[in-house]
Amino acid sequence: MSGLGAAWGFAAVAIGMVAVAALFLWPRAWQLRRAGHAPAGPAPAGRRRHVLPLLALFAAAGALYLWLGDPQALQPSRGTLSEQLRNAEAPLDRSAAEHVRAELQQHLKRQPDDARAWVMKARVDMQAQRYEDAAAAYDRALQGKSKAKGDAGLWVEYAEARGLQQGGTLAGAPSQLVAKALSLDPEHPQALDLAGSAAWEAGDYRLAAVHWKRLLAQIPEGSARHVQLSSAIQRAEQRARFALPAPR
């Protein structure tokens, strides 16, 4: 449906609604005529006095809905967007991701406080390696009174976006975001992993080992990840024995 077609469709719906309401507002004389209590025969002048204001009411209602309403609500793409928002975890190929991103941008113009839509846009941007846009979207999702602020996983995702935005380093803001995630969930696995990496990057090998040991306890023994992380912890502890204290 084109934008103009959607607008006319929206106007038709609005006018139809007013027409139904008008049945309850028709003058008393018309009701009396239907009941047989009014004199028979046409009354052109009286009808015109009632019909003309009613037509004006229809036109005014249509204009008001087009001005204040949302004609795009009749677009088929609105339903598609709603389905995507209900299933934000669904994987998207490149073409679908671009379509969803465009729809999300339009949706967020209408509903700028929709935190879930901001998160989905951030994830689509991350998938497309638009790290700056992703970081901005996560930042927007985690503002205000959004319930998203209590989700440690989203703070981790935001930290990853900021880290990739600044070239893959966790120094500065990404480390602070990881710390925020751990304050919400001290055992969050991704947060512990990133916290250990941030500490290693900062030269605080003792702290890196501490974070990674807490993570190691959550990983099944004998798994490839358990072996890999155990090796990383061993290297961190070896460096901690010979390294100077990390700057505070």
Predicted confidence (pLDDT) per residue in 14-71, tens digit: 555 555 555 545 454 444 444 454 444 444 445 555 555 555 555 555 555 445 454 4
Q: Considering only 9-13, 15-19, 37-41, 173-177, which range has the smallest mean pLDDT?
A: 37-41
Question: DSSP letters along 13-48, please?
Answer: HHHHHHHHHHHTTS-HHHHHHHHT-SPSS--HHHHH
The SS3 call for residue 70 is: coil
Judged by DSSP in three states, 37 sits in coil
User: Do 156 and 175 touch, CB atoms closer than 8 A?
Assistant: no
- Per-residue model confidence (pLDDT) at position 98: 79
**DSSP state at residue 130:** -
Angle at alpha carbon of residue 83, lines to 80 and 85, rounded to 5°: 110
Domain boundaries, the chain: 79-85+92-204
Give domain 79-85+92-204's CATH superfamily: Tetratricopeptide repeat domain (1.25.40.10)
Q: Which residue has the higher pLDDT, 4 or 140?
A: 140
Residues 96-141 have pLDDT tens digits of 777 888 899 999 999 999 999 999 999 999 999 999 999 999 999 9
What's the pLDDT tens digit per position in 207-243? Answer: 999 999 999 999 999 999 999 999 999 999 999 998 7
Q: Model pTM?
A: 0.64
Q: Which residues contact 180 (CB under 8 A, 6 or more apart)?
A: 155
Q: Tell me the C-alpha distance between 190 and 185, whole Å.
A: 11
Side-chain-facing half-sphere of 93: CA atoms under 13 Å: 1
